[in-house]
Amino acid sequence: MLLGIDIGNTNITLGLFEGDALVYSFRLTTKTPRTSDEYGIILEDLLKSKNIKKEQIKDVIISSVVPGIMHSFNNSIKKYLDKKPFEIGVGTKTGINIVTPYPEQIGADRIVDAAAAYELYGGPLIVIDFGTATTYDLISEDGAFLAGITSPGIRICADALWEETAKLPEIEIKKPDSILAKETITSMQAGLVYGYIGQTEYIVKEIIRESKLENVKVISTGGFGKMIADETEIIDVYNPDLSLEGLRIIYNKNRR
């Protein structure tokens, strides 16, 4: 089995693949500092919960945008799974050609999503990841990474709303029944969710207008991606496992 690990700013997502099939996935919080032993024990417990022995894990691939935890995390895999993980970085074959002036500034998470979306759906396409930050990446028909847009994620916007205002409470982020809110909580929900739907539609339309590309597919993923995708016709496909699929695809291109 292949263990794919996507380390983001908010969550660590793990996926177990049997061939090309994603058979199990797990999610941990990133922001809790942990030692290599703590990570290792968590990994062992997750595998045991599915009756999987560590000997069944043949290889491990990691994509990370959180360098601060990588020493502990890599050591946990070496110590508890007896594997040296393959970490995506400069020189990794991905199937995506980065043609921007500073390719080293493009996060591994964005390349993993782009590689998956391009392999699964073909180009040209826009890949939207509704994560801690929301990213919009434009991929050409021949797999070139042409441009990327970054905006605050909906959770960051929500946190700012109630942390910077004295009387606004912390709320559940969900779409209210109507944008015509009558009280504080639904008015905040309306502003956050409808505002984010509007942002998504406007940015996608502007990307398509300026790029002058035709028949552009829009693929989304990420924690709040389904909520937004369900409310707009501008998103063609929501794939919650896009990052994990990208890890599998990139692993196969770099099979050791």
Strands 237-238 and 133-139: unpaired
Do 196 and 158 form a contact (C-beta atoms < 8 A)?
no
Given the residues 6, 59, 82, 109, the one annotated as active site: 109
Orientation of helix 108-121 relative to helix 242-253, angle to 10°: 90
For residue 101, give Cα distances in angstroms to 148, 212, 219, 241, 245.
12, 20, 24, 29, 27
- Residue 110: in which H helix or E strand, if any? helix 108-121
Burial group, residue 129, by CB count within 10 angstroms (0-12, 13-18, 19+): buried
Reported as half-sphere exposure (CB side, CA atoms, 13 A), residue 4 has a value of 27
Q: Would you call 109 a catalytic residue per the annotation?
A: yes
Provide Rg for the chain, Cα atoms: 19
Between CA 57 and CA 43 the distance in angstroms is 12
Please work out, in degrees rounded to the nearest 5, the angle formed at the alpha carbon of residue 15 by the alpha carbons of 11 and 20.
145
The residues assigned a catalytic role are 109
